[in-house]
Amino acid sequence: MNYFIVTGSSKGLGEATAKLLLKENHHLICIARNDNKDLETEAVENGAEITFLQEDLSKHERVTGIVQYLLSKIEKDGQAEGIYLINNAGMVDPIKPAGKADEPSMTKAVHLNLLTPMLMINEFIRLTEDWDCKKVIVNISSGAANRPVHGWNTYCTTKAGLDMFTKSVGLEQSQAVHPTTILSFSPGVMDTAMQGVIRSSDEKDFSNVETFKSYHEEGQLRSPEFVAEKMLDLLFSVDVENGRVYDIKEFL
């Protein structure tokens, strides 16, 4: 059996990914701040196994314990053919130029977007170092990791940091006896709640807000379902390069 741990699974790309996985015979473990009854209903309808943890992953001090709990349950089951960790949870706020953002918002974003996945990955690799099964980690990246965007200084920085962490860990795992494959996946612009947050920004804080409004008005936003399909196709591929940052444009 394959086990999938998906963070930020109550909406957007995380929810779309979870729904696709429930159609196959995988054990799905969802971690999100909010419950999602639709996922639980679909699990019952598909005869699939689902575990839902309501957790605020910006509270990084809880992360290591969560990973320990989940992996101990998987180890006891003794049926793991593959374990997949999808670090999807993230936030674009604060959308403010430097000097305008407040400390709590910046701290929360750094914890959720960067520190939390780093801690999850660190503990995942530590605990599964000797597990002889397929192990894959995917970090959800962004084009903002590669270019500065006005008002997105915190988001750009955290995503760039996560990509470098992916590359570094991939290099290390290439020398492991039972390696974990780690990659970043940049999904491009999607029709999610995060886009709604972006479009509601003040132009003083985000000078490109009109461009993002036009993406929505002109139907240029990809559906989370489409992106989830492309990402899962990549995860199940035999040709994944450890430590690489992939962009959805490569698969269109």
Residue (of 193, 69, 57, 182) closest to 121 by Cα position: 182
Buried b (16+ CB within 10 A) or exposed e, 146-174: eeebebbbbbbbbbbbbbebbbebbeebe
From the candidates 3, 84, 155, 246, give the one annotated as an active-site residue.
Answer: 155
CA atoms within 13 A on the CB side of 46: 20
Residue (of 176, 174, 164) closest to 240 by Cα position: 174
Q: What is the 3-state secondary structure (H, E, C) of 184-236?
A: EEECCCECCHHHHHHHCCCCCCCCCHHHHHHHHHCCCCECHHHHHHHHHHHHC
Q: Is there a cis peptide before residue 179, judged by omega within 30 degrees of 0?
A: no
Q: How far apart are CA 148 and CA 55, in angstroms?
A: 31
155 part of the active site:
yes
What are the catalytic residues? Answer: 155
